[in-house]
Structure 1
């Protein structure tokens, strides 16, 4: 452990996170706790399903047939929910060399451009996936593993894609206000 007089911050198990990591979420109209709790619930379900399958395999030399299909669905849903949280927190992937360089006006325009592109992409995905869900429902498609209606899984793609697009719209609005208030 280093002393407080040295150049680096002093971190131990009891110290708070550094300010760049500890940054508080921006105020948003729809609470970010929705994505946070959805992530916790999905991760908990994944852990329980996997644990139950391991125990059953160990005890009986057989496994639950539905666990792989349901786990894959949950992992995809988890990635989408985490994507929504990343967009809302402005933590999505970008090339920071371009997005964090230049004047404040340029940074604002790039941030807003990125938000518009994310919103457009996910509104497009939501629209196209609605057609897929309708086809799954209309043609009574069933899942390959356990034979449940496929639309039970596919309905979540347009829902979460719309949520991501709306989070990107909110980010666009917040980035537009950021400069007007003189904050940064």
Structure 2
């Protein structure tokens, strides 16, 4: 049972991104068919796709950090002494956490403003903060993955 829970959380972002991409493709296809046959376009489709794209981007960044797939200067770092490599791992982790921490901070600020002014989306009329919530949530997940990979890299270098 524990392994299933761990496996779920290890692949949570992949499931979410795949589901959202599938939904985006389906609603875009429905909109194309509607435009072609009915000569009518659904205005809310673009709104949903743009909002889902923000979520997918941040959750995809989280997947990239978990897999270690983001760009880095490994050729330079691998030729340094182990102590300097460990320092680079920590500095890289701290800088990544700082960057995504700023995204959380400003994302929460944006959500507060949207709540204060009761901002609604143009197409559907739902609260705008529903869409903006992907920014701090995705950034928080990225921070967790940065911590996870930093610890793993640190242990490999010890």
TM-score, length basis structure 2: 0.87
1:140 is aligned to 118
Query: Is the deviation greater in 168-177 or in 54-63?
Result: 168-177
Name structure 2 gaps, 5 residues minimum.
Answer: 1-5
Which of the numbers 33, 51, 59 marks the counterpart of 2:37? 59
Name structure 1 gaps, 5 residues minimum.
Answer: 1-27
Shift of 1:97: 4.0
Q: Which protein has greater RCO, CA pairs closer than 8 Å, 6+ apart?
A: 2
Shift of 1:113: 1.7
2:19 is aligned to 41
Distance 1:77 1:89 in 2: 18
1:123 is aligned to 101
- Residues 119 and 65 of structure 1, relative CA distance in 2, 3 Å threshold: same
How many residue pairs get aligned? The number is 153
Are the counterparts in 2 of residues 99 and 111 from structure 1 also a CA contact under 8 Å?
A: no
2:136 is aligned to 158
Query: Is the deviation greater in 100-109 or in 170-179?
Result: 100-109
Are the counterparts in 1 of residues 54 and 135 from structure 2 also a CA contact under 8 Å?
A: no
Q: How does 1:24-39 map to 2 (within 5 A)?
A: 31-39=9-17
How much is the aligned-residue C-alpha RMSD, in angstroms?
1.9
Larger Rg: 1
Q: Deviations over 1:31-53 (max 9, x none)?
A: 32111111210111111111111
Are the counterparts in 2 of residues 116 and 172 from structure 1 also a CA contact under 8 Å?
A: no
Distance 1:175 1:166 in 2: 14
2:47 is aligned to 69
- Residues 82 and 99 of structure 1, relative CA distance in 2, 3 Å threshold: farther
Partner SS state of residue 31, structure 1: helix
